[in-house]
Structure 1
């Protein structure tokens, strides 16, 4: 591990890295410190362009010009930017934006790994070895760069405090230090990334440490998965339902196991025939994955049936589908014959990663409308009697479901006032709930 050669394209001059960092800092300073970027959708699009393009230039160097890699980087940036603008324009101050903001790093990571492996491919096929190396090494490289940037920021903050103590006004220090902070942090990040690339032994040590932890923790997690599966017929599912977090708990457990399994497979000394008991334990736990994913889907379906559709529950369903595909692929790897233990995971992982990125893009694209679907669901549940009007949260419909929620709220109010819902039980209570939200909105607008 520690003696592995540097991957193709890692050797970069310090001057090149600092130049890229300087350009990133200047662009960031021009975009965000001059005040011309006020919309957060445009801000995220520009920030993603600065970070993703600069990061890929630092990681790829001259390789960015090979086989159209630059177009892949540009496509990833344009995709993130377009959805960011859509999320901002569509939801105003609420909703889809926050979910998208949490998923941007995952999409950027998937796209960057495939982009880094692209120049090393043969034809249109990428080698799994290149994908696996970049998938594991890139987070450690970025971690070292972030740590370097944090050290620079801490030193700059310490210098600012000393200047204030010497009598310099706080406003003067803040005005003078702001461009130094903006540009210097990008320079420090570029220097840290250059240092990590040059010292591949350091990255090898970090990777080896994590993969050794995977070998240590996998038997524990696999035992927990098998034990949970065996105990379910006896303890039932009521304890999981009572927690109110059955879906995220199950998905987190299964996700951790899949991560650990892949870590063991990528170790320089994967479990050989001498580890037969541990291999059988892991195989048994992987065969349990589809069952536990089905349990997570059941839990999510019950929440939707009880409380209706929400964007978060739709996103949870998407995670269930992705985890189910991983579970089926793991079961296929267990049952499939081959000289390499769980070797079929290496065949399925790239496709599943691409599918996950595509699913995230479609979920947050205009082709999907989770907030409109949720708003229709909430209103329909009230009108057809599946939800008692006393339990209906009109404020949640108006304030938390973005523009579709406000439109559904206004349409429901018009139907009430127009006499269309004369036969609805609890009509006056519903009108009172809507009027309460309307009054609060008018007071907020008049402040």
Structure 2
């Protein structure tokens, strides 16, 4: 609040008791200085040109951790400068900085989860900072441990709109700067462009722009109210749409069963995305009950139905995730999914209870939303610290599957332990080296010494760690009927050179139906040696030829724009025909003309075969004079 009388000049903090918030002028001063100073410190920490702290004093990882922590602390100070009491803001800033240092240290240095899971961690940290800051800020304004729901609602949605506008203002500010640099560059002046590329200018200026935009939102409350009202109105009337779609989906499942949903391999992610949408739109429609405005009857019934659908979708997501974990074990991505499932189930159970709660319409949502916000913060802290670290949980689960025999040592993802799970993985490898199982101990030692030939990577539900080399002798040969594939073809390893073109049934064993591909053997080039044709379930056909003791893919001989009839292939309705167009040799370049292609497919051949005489003029049998491919 502002003091009465003449206002002091900008840059001077008034002598207000620490039990009061900062005035408008003082809040602007604090925000600008925080943006400037933290911007300079972050620039110093990330700079690579001589000013970076020596790694003997502070490692590069720790410099990144400090830089990230300072950016988040800057947001906390800027958000609470004008609403929190001074002493409360100081204590909360210190506590949050300590917690963020612990979290960022654990993520970056200890757990090693900074590859495929980096984005998930960033989103969780940002969500934790935003939610926790609003809980503390609103409680401080109310002067009690828990503020009224109406204050939480106003502050959270106002702060969200303020944050979005501040980010938009900062981006627009930089867009104008770069436009000016481009204009100056047109006439030969590049000093502004070089200045914008300098981190000691870019970071402080960004901090000042963001701090100014945050303060602008505080002194223009009507702007935030209008933006928030527009957003809530639009989101609220999207609720009937998603509710109708969800209802149709639920009814359809009753007739189709769950198997088509499981077959998508993305059931958990899709269902959880729907749950997040339900929670957001339900709160946009509910807002503050009917205390400040009348809620349309369509929205009232949509909120009730959406709350029930939320529970159904959360239960289906939990079922789907449970099946995957039981089949392939726990991974980092599945741990994140499990976190969202737990939160979705909590919302589903709570919101469904509110539907049948006696009293005013959905009145129970008010205490539920406050309690669930606290619950989310607890879950986020557990995930971001050793309490329930995804790296620790996934390592423990995968090692248990390995030692119990569920996963074989030769199919176990040793690279996951060695490279992706930080200290948790390296400690597990050290323990496995002492395993009484000689195979496990040997492979663990190789993993520690980085002698593994293949490093698998876990990407969601790909489950490459569970992949097995298929037994190609089980492929059904439709032509000649009952024939067996050549032993050299069965023994060939196809996953080294042309993996992008080779069907999955030749590279790794699919999880559901391993032997859906069909095979045929025909002599395609007249050398009396059959080539192997492989047809996938989608109708794609790939041809392979044995050349120099290796089976290689024949590129360009199958028109990729045509899907062959799968039934005809299965019935062995296959024959060799003359090409529509003969090849043309232009020097050392072979040109093939394919039907329905707008331009010829040019194939460069470093060692083109010599021209051969027509078969009618050849005196030797084809089997005795094979042509080179």
TM-score range, shorter chain: 0.7 to 0.9
Q: Are the structure 2 counterparts of residues 149 and 407 from structure 1 closer, same or farther at C-alpha, using a change threshold of 3 Å?
A: same
Q: Shift in Å at residue 395 of structure 1?
A: 2.5
2:317 paired with 1:296: yes
Q: How do 1:127-142 residues align onto structure 2 when only pairs under 5 Å count?
A: 127-142=148-163
For residues 297 and 193 of structure 2, what CA distance do their matches in structure 1 show?
Answer: 67
SS in 2 for 1:279: helix
How many residue pairs match? The answer is 426
Q: Shift in Å at residue 320 of structure 1?
A: 1.0
For residues 349 and 357 of structure 1, what CA distance do their matches in structure 2 show?
Answer: 12
2:177 paired with 1:146: no
Q: Shift in Å at residue 190 of structure 1?
A: 1.4
2:37 paired with 1:18: no
CA deviation vs aligned residue, 1:86-119 (integer Å, no higher than 9, x gap): 2223134746766433311011111221232133
Q: How do 1:78-89 residues align onto structure 2 when only pairs under 5 Å count?
A: 78-89=98-109
2:433 paired with 1:421: no
TM-score, L = length of structure 2: 0.61
Q: How do 1:185-264 residues align onto structure 2 when only pairs under 5 Å count?
A: 185-264=206-285
* Deviates most, 237-246 or 255-264: 237-246
For residues 293 and 192 of structure 2, what CA distance do their matches in structure 1 show?
Answer: 63
Q: Are the structure 2 counterparts of residues 42 and 104 from structure 1 closer, same or farther at C-alpha, using a change threshold of 3 Å?
A: farther
For residues 366 and 372 of structure 2, what CA distance do their matches in structure 1 show?
Answer: 10
For residues 215 and 102 of structure 1, what CA distance do their matches in structure 2 show?
Answer: 24
Q: Are the structure 2 counterparts of residues 145 and 66 from structure 1 closer, same or farther at C-alpha, using a change threshold of 3 Å?
A: same
Q: Are the structure 2 counterparts of residues 380 and 171 from structure 1 closer, same or farther at C-alpha, using a change threshold of 3 Å?
A: farther
2:361 paired with 1:345: no
For residues 395 and 437 of structure 1, what CA distance do their matches in structure 2 show?
Answer: 9
* Deviates most, 115-124 or 166-175: 166-175
CA contact (8 A) 2:433 2:441 kept: no
CA deviation vs aligned residue, 1:161-192 (integer Å, no higher than 9, x gap): 45555556789925884322121111111121
For residues 394 and 67 of structure 1, what CA distance do their matches in structure 2 show?
Answer: 51
- What is the match of residue 423 of structure 2? 403
For residues 198 and 29 of structure 2, what CA distance do their matches in structure 1 show?
Answer: 24
CA contact (8 A) 2:429 2:448 kept: no
Higher strand share: 2
Q: Shift in Å at residue 23 of structure 1?
A: 2.9
SS in 2 for 1:156: helix
CA-atom RMSD, angstroms? 3.5
Gap runs ≥5 in structure 2:
1-19, 456-629
CA contact (8 A) 1:371 1:404 kept: yes
Larger radius of gyration: 2
- What is the match of residue 438 of structure 1? 451
- What is the match of residue 353 of structure 2? 332
Q: Shift in Å at residue 38 of structure 1?
A: 4.8
2:357 paired with 1:357: no
CA contact (8 A) 1:46 1:81 kept: no
CA contact (8 A) 2:43 2:200 kept: yes
Q: Shift in Å at residue 11 of structure 1?
A: 7.0
CA contact (8 A) 2:170 2:210 kept: yes
Q: Are the structure 2 counterparts of residues 134 and 41 from structure 1 closer, same or farther at C-alpha, using a change threshold of 3 Å?
A: farther
Higher helix share: 1
- What is the match of residue 27 of structure 1? 41
Q: Shift in Å at residue 344 of structure 1?
A: 0.9
Q: Are the structure 2 counterparts of residues 99 and 279 from structure 1 closer, same or farther at C-alpha, using a change threshold of 3 Å?
A: closer
For residues 347 and 93 of structure 1, what CA distance do their matches in structure 2 show?
Answer: 35
CA contact (8 A) 1:10 1:60 kept: no
For residues 419 and 71 of structure 2, what CA distance do their matches in structure 1 show?
Answer: 33
TM-score, L = length of structure 1: 0.83
Gap runs ≥5 in structure 1:
1-7, 443-447
2:52 paired with 1:39: no
Q: Shift in Å at residue 299 of structure 1?
A: 0.7
- What is the match of residue 81 of structure 2? 61
Q: Shift in Å at residue 9 of structure 1?
A: 6.6
CA deviation vs aligned residue, 1:57-76 (integer Å, no higher than 9, x gap): 33333543356243123212
CA deviation vs aligned residue, 1:403-429 (integer Å, no higher than 9, x gap): 3223333543554xxxx326x7xx899
Q: Shift in Å at residue 277 of structure 1?
A: 4.9
CA contact (8 A) 1:94 1:401 kept: no
Q: Are the structure 2 counterparts of residues 198 and 318 from structure 1 closer, same or farther at C-alpha, using a change threshold of 3 Å?
A: same
Q: Shift in Å at residue 206 of structure 1?
A: 1.4
- What is the match of residue 412 of structure 1? 432
- What is the match of residue 557 of structure 2? none
Q: Shift in Å at residue 330 of structure 1?
A: 0.3
SS in 2 for 1:68: helix
CA contact (8 A) 2:354 2:362 kept: yes
